[in-house]
Amino acid sequence: MVKTIQVAADRAHDQTKTVLPAEVAQGVYIKHAPSLQALKLMHLMIAKAGGRMADDVRHEMRLSDLKKINGMRNHTRQTVVPLFEELSAAVLTINDAEKMTTTVGGLLDQATIDYRHEVSGNVLISWTFRTTFKEMARDSNHWAILDRQAVFHLTSKYSVLLFQHICSLTNLKHITSKRFKVADLRMMLGVPEGKFARFSNLKKDAIEAAIAEINSDITRLHLTVIYHKVGRAVTEVEIAWEVKEDLTKVKDELDRPKVGRKARRDGTTETPVAAFPASGSVKDTQPWDRIARDNAPRIDGRHVPDLRVLADTFRKWCVEKSIPLDAASIEKTFTTWCKSYSAR
């Protein structure tokens, strides 16, 4: 029987695909569900390890390589540390019906960020996987092959978790749909306890939002959903899938800028987002100059603060908060931030 690690080793040359053990793709994060960025980092770590993901070795990559990836470009040494903290805390539960065992463990054993040569742009990231993950990868004979670019372009953790789960099922013969109990679907999507307490909110903001994004021109899958009820209450959610016939649109969309992607998906128009300047002052640069002058407190009640210092301080704050300078809400974020800015 073919093993997942062998498939990963055979595909090591293909930088467009990631081979994920199905146990990970279908695993349930019971506590401390990873965020979107942490999930993307997890995919990259497993892809980098490839056929050696089950080996007792330390894996490595450079921060500069991570920053080249669309969807992870804005990361710094300071912003990747919290992502590794998330992955270290994530609990992965794997149920083996044949062996009648449930294994509870984690993904990450230890990660090290070596920034001794940061001045020259050489930051080395290394990590080891936990025993639970390595044993699972070693024994796995069922896998998901994911389009790496699609994962990095998805904008919601619910989309990533649903996409990886369905990808683990697409190659099974005569299976084109799966029914989830509502509680199981919540766990699979990593919905925190207490969030989306009403099913209508879960449906709108998690299930259907994820399906809409997966169905857009950034993945090869098209999903449909049926809600099964007992009386008036939804008890099961059935999700069916098929591979799109024409994948040229997918390639074209992944090659286009992400600005305006939602509008293209929805068939509406969208005003391009103006990114906050990556360097320098915002003086005479609109709308940032106007926002700063209108909202930042005046020095001694009269003088506008130094707009170069203000801009540098805002950029540093964005790095600390992992907020991209081209985020869709960056103008609103800058406005709110300016109101509490202190030049002293």
Domain boundary (135, 150, 165) is at 150
Q: Looking at the structure, tell me whether residues 69 and 162 fall in a common domain.
A: no
Range of the domain at 198: 154-271
Q: Looking at the structure, tell me whether residues 209 and 258 fall in a common domain.
A: yes
Residue 278 falls inside a structural domain: no
**For the stretch 52-72, what's the b/e string if a residue is b when 16 or more beta carbons lie within 10 angstroms of its beta carbon?**
bbbeeeebebebeebeeeebb
Phi, psi (rounded to 5 degrees) for 136: -65, -45
DSSP 8-class letter at 76: -
Q: Looking at the structure, tell me whether residues 128 and 53 fall in a common domain.
A: yes
Q: Looking at the structure, tell me whether residues 118 and 70 fall in a common domain.
A: yes
Regions of the chain short of the pLDDT cut 70: 29-30, 249-273, 343-344
pLDDT, tens digit, 9 for 90 and up, residues 301-321? 778 889 999 999 999 999 988
Q: Looking at the structure, tell me whether residues 128 and 208 fall in a common domain.
A: no
Q: Looking at the structure, tell me whether residues 223 and 318 fall in a common domain.
A: no
Residue 189 falls inside a structural domain: yes
pLDDT of the residue at 48: 95
| Residues facing 239 on adjacent strands | 178, 225
Q: Looking at the structure, tell me whether residues 133 and 15 fall in a common domain.
A: yes
Residue 42 falls inside a structural domain: yes
Average pLDDT, the chain: 88
Q: Looking at the structure, tell me whether residues 160 and 146 fall in a common domain.
A: no
pLDDT of the residue at 198: 94
What total number of domains does the chain contain? 3
CB atoms within 10 A of CB 301: 6
pLDDT of the residue at 261: 53
pTM of the model: 0.74
pLDDT, tens digit, 9 for 90 and up, residues 41-56? 999 999 999 999 999 9
Residue 277 falls inside a structural domain: no
pLDDT of the residue at 300: 77
Domain boundary (216, 246, 271) is at 271
| Residues facing 223 on adjacent strands | 241
Residue 276 falls inside a structural domain: no
Tokens of 119: 């001045």
CA dihedral (318, 319, 323, 328) in degrees, to 10, reads 70
Q: Looking at the structure, tell me whether residues 8 and 141 fall in a common domain.
A: yes
Residue 217 falls inside a structural domain: yes
Residue 240 falls inside a structural domain: yes
Q: Looking at the structure, tell me whether residues 11 and 108 fall in a common domain.
A: yes
Domain boundary (150, 173, 204) is at 150
Q: Looking at the structure, tell me whether residues 94 and 164 fall in a common domain.
A: no
pLDDT of the residue at 207: 97
Q: Looking at the structure, tell me whether residues 134 and 178 fall in a common domain.
A: no
Residue 295 falls inside a structural domain: yes
CA–CA dist 239, 320 (Å, integer): 38
Place of tokens 């203000």: 310
Domain at 178, CATH number = 1.10.10.10
DSSP 8-class letter at 303: B
pLDDT of the residue at 23: 87
CA–CA dist 36, 50 (Å, integer): 21
